[in-house]
Structure formats: structure tokens, C-alpha cells
């Protein structure tokens, strides 16, 4: 189960999907079909009953008719008010569901609402910043979010991970309520919980919880170090030139990295929503994502180099020295991650890597022009 601190990462992925897929086809479409529906555009509406599946992606998605099989919908605004015979999988910035779902529901959004007139006959997995579950879920319900409000009837166990959890007087849980949050869940008078109420502690002072967090961080940073090492061994000469530039002007590299990180996605989104520039915008967005991934790997190599030189050592003597410097840099970043605001250090390393790469490419361009 994803913890509240991971929600922002998921939301970023949702928004990437929305801005990538939605505006690719600059059109409005109102679907009237009796068979499977596959559609994308700026606005898509399914207004007639569908005997089959509906798979749509758009800036705005409305499904206000019955669908006999599955629904897969992604968009900026997603509204599903018709009945669905099988499963629903949806994501967006704002997602609203007000219909009966015959199977399971999996949904992720910034603002996610299951209206009081809706029923999920299977299981439900919901993730978002603000999640309101006023409808009914006949089987198990799992929710991750910043703020979660429950006011419906739930036939099985309910599991919630959030910063704020509230149960309205109309809430009925026929199984257990298991939750984790910084504070206790607010259970108003009138709410019914037939099973047990179990609060999972998330305090890192607990050895078991701390070990779990440490293991997860170890896997993450070890994976980054391994990827950086492989790239370095494949492109050693390129890395040496990039590292040399970052060492000469680290603050300039960080500043340039910040500019690139901010400007490139904005440019991509502007191109995407322009319609005519959508293909170029998609390419730009792909480059931006690749730059972020490469930036953190390059940043780790640069930090390892700087660390060794600060200790009076030179990792240039052998490739194995460079390998150890990369592992050392990843280990230091992992340890800093347990310190309050340690994530900012990781962010600065990312900016350093992006800026170092851009300075290298710019210098290459200047040299060619000269």
C-alpha cells in the first residue's frame, strides 16, 4: 500500500498522462455507438449505450450511458455517471463517479469522488490528494490520500493510509477498519464499524518500521548507483567531460538545471495544447522525462567525483575508483534522505546533473560553430 508521501509522485505521473494523451488529437467527439469505443481528443463524450468496452483519453471525458464491459478512462476531467457492467480503471486531475460498477474500481486523481448514488460491487482501490467515498463498496476498500472522507456503506474490510481521515455519521463498515495517519481518525457519532479498528503506527522510531523504510531506500539508491555505473562504463569519455564542466562551475550548473527543469515541461505542454504542435510537444515532453532520469544519474557521478577530490583522492586513476565513488555518493544521499528536508539535497543533485549535461551540450555546439 502506497503511503501518503508517495501520492505526489503518483499525481505527477497522472498529470503527465493527461497532458500527453489528451491533447494529441485536437478535436471534440461525441460517441454514439453500440460496440467497443476507442477514442481520444480534447473532449470525448459517450452518450449512447455500449455493448462492449470503452477506452478513452482526453482533456475532458464524460461517460453518461451504460457500458456492458470494462471502462478505461484518462483525462483532465473525468465524469462517469452511467452504469458499467464490469471493471473501471480511471485517472485524471478531477475524477467523479456516480453510477453502478459491476466489477472492481481502480482510480487515481488529484480530487477523486465516489458519489452517494454509486455502488461498486467488487473491490475498490482509490488514490488521490482528496478522496471522498460517499458511495457504496460491496467488498474491500483501499484508499491512499492526503485527505480521505468516508460516508458510504462498505461490505468488507477498509484500509486507509492518509494524513487526514474522517468517517461521517452515515458511514457503515461491515468489516475491519485498518488505517495509518499522523493523528487518530475522526469517527463521528453515528458511524458504524462492525469489525475492529486497527491503527498502524508509522513512527520511524519503531525498529520494524524503520527497517522497512531503510530497506526500501537502500533498494532505490542501490538501483540508481547501479544504473549510473553502467552508463559510466559504457560512456566513460562523455562522463569525464560532463564532470569536468560541473566541477568548474557547480553553482552555474545547478542554476541552469533549475531553468531547464522548469521551462522544458511548460514548453511541452504549450505545444501539446496548441494542437498543431502536439507531435513536437510530445517529443519535447519525452526529452524532458529522459533528461530528469539522466540528470539524477549524472548528478550522482558528479557528487562522487567531488567527494573523492575533497578527500584528496582522484577517481580518475581507474574505473574501479569511479565505481566506488558512485556507490559512496548514493550511500550519502540515502543517509541524508532520513534527515528532515534531506529531499532538497536530492533535488539539488538532480539540478546539478541536468545543468552539467546542458552546459556540455552547449559547449559542444559553441565549439562546432567556432
Same-domain status, 279 and 257: yes
Q: How far apart are CA 21 and CA 18, in angstroms?
A: 6
Q: Record the cell numbers describing residue 275, joined without a space.
A: 494542437
Where a domain ends, among 199, 233, 254? 199
Rounded Cα gap, residues 314 and 308, in angstroms: 6
In this structure, the answer to whether residues 145 and 246 fall within a common structural domain is no
DSSP of 102-162, one letter per residue?
SS-EEEEEEEEEE-TT-EESS-EEEEEEEEEE-SEESS-EEEEEEEEEE-SEESS-EEEEE
- The reply to whether 236 and 287 lie within a common domain is yes
Count of beta carbons in the 10 Å neighbourhood of residue 201 = 10
pTM > 0.85: yes or no: no
Whether 39 and 160 share a structural domain: yes
Summarised one tens digit per residue, pLDDT across range 285-325 is: 667 777 777 888 888 888 888 877 777 666 665 667 777 78
Total of domains in the chain = 2
Dump pLDDT digits (tens) for 341-358: 677 888 888 888 888 888
As given in the structure block, the three cell numbers for residue 181 are 495517519
Q: Tell me which DSSP letter residue 324 carries.
A: H
> Are residue 194 and residue 234 in the same domain, yes or no?
no
**186 and 42 in a common domain:** yes
Q: Are both 342 and 270 inside the same structural domain?
A: yes
Taking CA 289 as the corner, what is the angle to CA 287 and CA 292, rounded to the nearest 5 degrees? 110
| Judgement on whether residues 235 and 331 belong to the same structural domain of the protein | yes
Is residue 116 within 8 A of residue 100, CB to CB? The reply is: no
What pLDDT is stored for residue 23 in this prediction?
36
**Do 106 and 123 touch, CB atoms closer than 8 A?**
no
Same domain (yes/no): 89, 108: yes
Residues 273 and 145 grouped into a single domain: no
Q: Are residues 29 and 161 in the same domain?
A: yes
Phi, psi dihedral angles at 283 (to 5 degrees) = -65, -45
Residue 16 has pLDDT above 60, yes or no: no
Domain check: are 89 and 158 in the same one?
yes
Average predicted confidence (pLDDT) for the chain: 78
Which residue, 199, 231, 259, sits at the end of a domain? 199
Q: Range of 79's domain?
A: 4-199
Interval 49-83: pLDDT, tens: 898 888 887 667 899 999 999 998 876 688 999 99
Amino acid at each position: 500500500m502506497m503511503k501518503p508521501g508517495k501520492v505526489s509522485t503518483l499525481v505527477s505521473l497522472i498529470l503527465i498522462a493527461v497532458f500527453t494523451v489528451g491533447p494529441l488529437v485536437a478535436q471534440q467527439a461525441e460517441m454514439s455507438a453500440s460496440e467497443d469505443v476507442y477514442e481520444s481528443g480534447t473532449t470525448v463524450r459517450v452518450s449512447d449505450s455500449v455493448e462492449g468496452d470503452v477506452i478513452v483519453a482526453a482533456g475532458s471525458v464524460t461517460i453518461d450511458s451504460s457500458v456492458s464491459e470494462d471502462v478505461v478512462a484518462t483525462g483532465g476531467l473525468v465524469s462517469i455517471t452511467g452504469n458499467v457492467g464490469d471493471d473501471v480503471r480511471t485517472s485524471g486531475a478531477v475524477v467523479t463517479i456516480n453510477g453502478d460498477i459491476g466489477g472492481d474500481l481502480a482510480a487515481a486523481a488529484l480530487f477523486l469522488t465516489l458519489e452517494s448514488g454509486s455502488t461498486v460491487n467488487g473491490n475498490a482501490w482509490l488514490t488521490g490528494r482528496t478522496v471522498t467515498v460517499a458511495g457504496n463498496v460491496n467488498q474491500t476498500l483501499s484508499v491512499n490520500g492526503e485527505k480521505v472522507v468516508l460516508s458510504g456503506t462498505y461490505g468488507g474490510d477498509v484500509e486507509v493510509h492518509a494524513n487526514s481521515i474522517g468517517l461521517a455519521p452515515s458511514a457503515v463498515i461491515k468489516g475491519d477498519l485498518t488505517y495509518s495517519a499522523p493523528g487518530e481518525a475522526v469517527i463521528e457519532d453515528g458511524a458504524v464499524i462492525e469489525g475492529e479498528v486497527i491503527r498502524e503506527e508509522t513512527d520511524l522510531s519503531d525498529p520494524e518500521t524503520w527497517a522497512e523504510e531503510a530497506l526500501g531506500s537502500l533498494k532505490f539508491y542501490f538501483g540508481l548507483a547501479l544504473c549510473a555505473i553502467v552508463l559510466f562504463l559504457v560512456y566513460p569519455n562523455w562522463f569525464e567531460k560532463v564532470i569536468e564542466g560541473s566541477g568548474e562551475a557547480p553553482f552555474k550548473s545547478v542554476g541552469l538545471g533549475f531553468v531547464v527543469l522548469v521551462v522544458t515541461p511548460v514548453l511541452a505542454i504549450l505545444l501539446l495544447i496548441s494542437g498543431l504542435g502536439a507531435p513536437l510537444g510530445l517529443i519535447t515532453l519525452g526529452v524532458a522525462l529522459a533528461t530528469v532520469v539522466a540528470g539524477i544519474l549524472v548528478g550522482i557521478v558528479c557528487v562522487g567525483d567531488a567527494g573523492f577530490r575533497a578527500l584528496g583522492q582522484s577517481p580518475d586513476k581507474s574505473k574501479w575508483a569511479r565505481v566506488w565513488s558512485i556507490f559512496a555518493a548514493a550511500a550519502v544521499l540515502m543517509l541524508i534522505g532520513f534527515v528532515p528536508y534531506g529531499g532538497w539535497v536530492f533535488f539539488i543533485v538532480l539540478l546539478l546533473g541536468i545543468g552539467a549535461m546542458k552546459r556540455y551540450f552547449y559547449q559542444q555546439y559553441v565549439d562546432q560553430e567556432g
